[in-house]
Amino acid sequence: MSESFFRFVLKHKILVILLTVAVSLMMGSGVQHLRFNNDYRMFFSEENPQLKAFEMLQNTYTKNDNVLFVIEPQDGKVFTRETLTAVTELTKEAWQIPYSIRVDSITNFQHTYAEGDDLIVEDLVLDPASLNDEELATKQQIATNDPLLRNRLISPTAHTTGVNVTVQLPGKKLTEVPEVAAKVKQMAKNLEASYPDIKVHLTGMVIMNNAFPTASQDDMKSLYPIMFGAVILVLVLMLRSIPGTISTLIIILLMIIATMGLTGWLGIKMSPPTTTVPIVIMTLAIADCVHILVNFLHFMREGEAKYQAMMESLRINLQPIFLTTLTTAIGFLSLNFSDAPPFRDLGNMAAMGVVLAFLLSITFLPAMMMLLPVKALSGDTMGSLAMVRFAEFVIRNKKQLLWGMGILILFLIVQIPSNRLDDRFVEYFDETIDFRQDTDFATDNLTGIYLIEYSLESGETGGISDPDFLRKVDGFAQWYRQQPHVLHVNTITDIMKRLNRNMHADDDSWYRLPEQRDLSAQYLLLYEFSLPFGLDLNNQINVKKSATRFTVTLESISTQQLLQIEEDAQQWLLENAPEMRSDGASPSVMFAHIGSRNIIAMLKGTTTALIIISLILVVALRSLRIGGISLIPNLVPMGMAFGLWGLTVGEVGLALSVVSGMTLGIVVDDTVHFLSKYLRARREKNMSGEDAVRYAFSTVGTALWVTSLVLMVGFGILAFSHFQLNAGMGLLTAITLGLALVADFLFLPPLLIYFGGKKP
């Protein structure tokens, strides 16, 4: 069946070439439907409990997607007439930002004070240009001492300030985030032009959302050319065949076009992880082509005609290439167990690309090589001679290698617990990206972007005015303010204390919570009636006035630190206010949990894939013994890689949790090719174990280290990505694939010699 198919391909080469190109381009026409996802929620599945809690909180109050303008006066003084005028202008203009529903700054902060029997509620700064030095100093003292402003919209030393814009994105089109980002960037640029002594930094969740596609597109512009250059260089040096290199490059282009087109037709949205798919499938396509071409050129060097050489190469490579395609696809499909949808998309896209690479390598490649003039270099290549010598070294030192590699593998595997879980979403972007730079500046000089939010329930309508409830909320706030890494706590009790003082002639001794429920309710009602449109308390109090929003702002801390603080907070609530218990919710909490959730999910996925792949290998290789031996070089590279990572880096997050699923199918490739040649020598040529190892090294050794080199270069280039999820994933995958080659060359042969069976 396969022989007649290949005869058709070689005989009708022009027809095959035209058909494969036409079908690939038809698939590729779906590229027009590709869209970038620019919402950080893309990393969370609909079933994610932390996402559900966060959306419930946002549905109860207003959404808190925001843009934060951080104003940095060069003289280090916010409370000057010029800087306050700039802040006032920016505050007014910010209302024109698309989808904005609220603007908060020190100038429009609703300051309250008593005037006789009246409660005055007005902007803290009304006309900056008219203020004298004494009035400026008074305004600064009020702002820096108010707990609602300090470390939120004004730094304690008043050297930086912020204008926070809350936006409510409808979520109906993908242009919403870029539209807001473009507007605020232009506003920042205009403000800096009007006030040369002011520097504006932009952060917030909308700016982060916009940074995702920006980082992805920057990577595509910078990494893809490097990757193509590296691929061409490796192919030319290793194959020493211009027709082979050209054919492989055309296959790469057709496969990428077809894969991305199918992605568009299926409605899969692009995201930072999925932008790596072209690089991933490019390297895997090269692996298929190299195996066919290396054997093809080898047979031609031995004197066979081009037609017979290609037929023989296809015959001996069809089964291992089909098996590696199947196992690699299964490995990538195991990413569907991931709790992060972008990695599911990555797995599905890569699986499609792997299958397309296989189909093109057994149709377009042989047809193209028949069409192009091919001249095989005479004599053995340096690679094949090196493999012969290397095989002798391995056989001569088989006992030492078996024990030495075994000890090294165990040593690295026991280092796996050295890894600690950490996912800081701000650090998904490296320091060359504006969002990261501006967010780091904001955290160091004004406020943080890491939040934990609670919806604290009183248990009854109007219950937020209950003095007992308010005391417990205030106690929770005081407890949080004593915790390390906490920058700011936003709570309704600070407003109630201020109002109580105002209603007692601004006497500081009355800066405490009202002791009567009716007074609290009256103060709150009077205050709400005095607030201007857009600055009401809907972002802090629910409609029934039965619950209040409680927000904690933190420094940029590790996942474990954030989870520990949240755990301690839950313990405080359990001991002091069990009826108010509420799970902390925010993007920070969501990202803190996603790494551990994904590791557990991917352990299930990898285990499932491993079982399926093992059964396939046992059936395909027709040997339970060899199938069992194959598990060792398939598993140990991942253990060694994570152990080495624990020794050198020690941090594992969302991206690294999918490496096991990604690499499992790829790692199997080398093992399958080596074992297929080993078994061919044992079964067809009646060789001993040692001679079969020699045969495997001589026939497939060069192809294995060439393909492994290409894969390592491909994934290694991802390590230079500005998006740290991709960079870490690429680097650890490259390490895993390198260690897989070491295991297949230094550990698998001794295993086969000692345990592969004595009789041919």
Would residue 219 be called left, alpha or beta, if left means φ above 0 and alpha means ψ between -120 and 50 degrees? alpha
Q: Which amino acid is at 466?
A: D
Structure tokens at 273: 């992880």
Structure tokens at 14: 């022009």
Q: Which helix (H) or strand (E) holds 626?
A: helix 624-648
- Maximal C-alpha separation, the chain: 108
Q: 421 near 560, Cβ under 8 Å?
A: yes
**pLDDT tens profile 3-30:** 889 999 999 999 999 999 999 999 999 9
Structure tokens at 682: 């044992």
How many other CB atoms sit within 10 Å of the CB of residue 649? 14
State residue 26's pLDDT score: 95
Q: Which amino acid is at 493?
A: T
**What number of H helices and E strands is found in the chain?**
25, 11
**pLDDT tens profile 285-295:** 888 888 888 88
Distances (CA, A) of 738 to 212, 259, 693: 30, 27, 20
State residue 670's pLDDT score: 83
Structure tokens at 751: 């295993």
Structure tokens at 403: 């024990």
Structure tokens at 294: 């290396």
Task: Give the model's confidence band at 381: pLDDT under 50 very low, under 70 low, under 90 confident, else very high.
Answer: low
Assess whether pLDDT exceeds 80 at residue 383: no
Assess whether pLDDT exceeds 60 at residue 276: yes
**pLDDT tens profile 575-612:** 999 999 888 999 889 888 887 788 888 888 888 888 88
Distances (CA, A) of 725 to 188, 551, 565, 720: 29, 28, 25, 11
Residue ranges, CATH 3.30.70.1430, the chain: 60-203
Structure tokens at 554: 């933190």
Average pLDDT, the chain: 88
Q: 314 near 6, Cβ under 8 Å?
A: yes
Assess whether pLDDT exceeds 90 at residue 355: yes
In this prediction, what percent of the chain has a pLDDT beyond 70? Answer: 98
Q: 354 near 332, Cβ under 8 Å?
A: yes
Nearest C-alpha neighbor of 151 from the set 599, 592, 487: 487
Cα–Cα distance for residue pair 149/162, rounded to 1 Å: 10
DSSP class of residue 723? Answer: B
Domain 60-203 fold is Alpha-Beta Plaits (3.30.70)
* Residue with more model confidence, 551 or 684: 551
**pLDDT tens profile 667-682:** 888 888 888 888 888 8
Lowest mean pLDDT among 115-124, 535-544, 600-609, 657-666: 657-666
Cα–Cα distance for residue pair 31/48, rounded to 1 Å: 30
State residue 424's pLDDT score: 79
Q: 601 near 338, Cβ under 8 Å?
A: yes
**pLDDT tens profile 104-139:** 999 999 999 988 778 889 999 989 999 999 999 999
pTM greater than the 0.95 cutoff: no
Give every CB contact of residue 411 below 8 A, 6+ residues apart in sequence: 643
* Residue with more model confidence, 400 or 212: 400
Assess whether pLDDT exceeds 60 at residue 741: yes
How many other CB atoms sit within 10 Å of the CB of residue 8? 14
State residue 379's pLDDT score: 47
Lowest mean pLDDT among 351-360, 394-403, 650-659: 650-659
State residue 377's pLDDT score: 62
State residue 345's pLDDT score: 94
Structure tokens at 385: 């001679």
Lowest mean pLDDT among 253-257, 458-462, 510-514, 614-618: 614-618
Most confidently modeled of 81-90, 425-434, 614-623? 81-90
